[in-house]
């Protein structure tokens, strides 16, 4: 096993501070804030008690009975409050697999 040369970090000490050559200053006034105590499992779990994901609330479209988000126009039929308010968003229904639309010149 060969010993590789260690990386040398030159330090200029000045009034209790250590200034690395990169300009990073390490000293009394340049401490990173660090928690004084380890967070207990209880406190950690209390903090995480709000982290669980909830399933989105869903409703059924009265026009086409598709599952949709409440208070939002139905993407399947474009109806909202009994009126057609938008074009239905057809996902992949017009795609023939050729990629002609995708490859077409703009
Ligand atoms: Zn609908």
> Which pLDDT score, from 0 to 100, does residue 35 have?
93
User: What is the 87 CA–ligand 1 centroid distance (Å)?
Assistant: 11
Query: H/E element holding 13?
Result: strand 11-14
Asked if residue 27 lies in contact with residue 17, where contact means CB atoms within 8 angstroms, the answer is: yes
In the numeric block, the tokens 């109806």 are attached to 79
Residues ≥6 apart with Cβ < 8 Å to 68: 58, 59, 60, 61, 74, 75, 76
> Which pLDDT score, from 0 to 100, does residue 89 have?
84
Computed over its alpha carbons, how large is the radius of gyration of the chain?
31
pTM of the predicted model as reported, rounded to 2 decimal places? 0.43
User: What is the 96 CA–ligand 1 centroid distance (Å)?
Assistant: 24
User: What is the 82 CA–ligand 1 centroid distance (Å)?
Assistant: 10
> Which pLDDT score, from 0 to 100, does residue 17 have?
53
| pLDDT tens-place values along the chain, 106 residues long | 566 666 655 555 555 555 555 555 555 667 889 999 999 999 999 999 999 999 999 999 999 999 999 999 999 999 999 999 999 987 665 556 666 666 665 5
């Amino acid at each position: 096993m060969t010993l590789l040369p260690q990386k040398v970090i030159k330090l200029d000490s000045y009034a209790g501070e250590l200034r690395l050559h990169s300009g990073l200053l390490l000293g009394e006034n340049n401490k990173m804030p660090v928690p004084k105590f380890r967070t207990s499992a209880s406190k950690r779990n209390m903090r995480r008690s709000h982290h669980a994901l909830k399933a989105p609330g869903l409703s059924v479209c009265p026009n086409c009975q598709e599952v949709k988000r409440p208070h939002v126009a139905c993407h399947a039929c474009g109806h909202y409050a009994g009126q057609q308010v938008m074009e239905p968003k057809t996902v992949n229904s017009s795609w023939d697999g050729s990629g002609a639309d995708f490859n077409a010149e703009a």
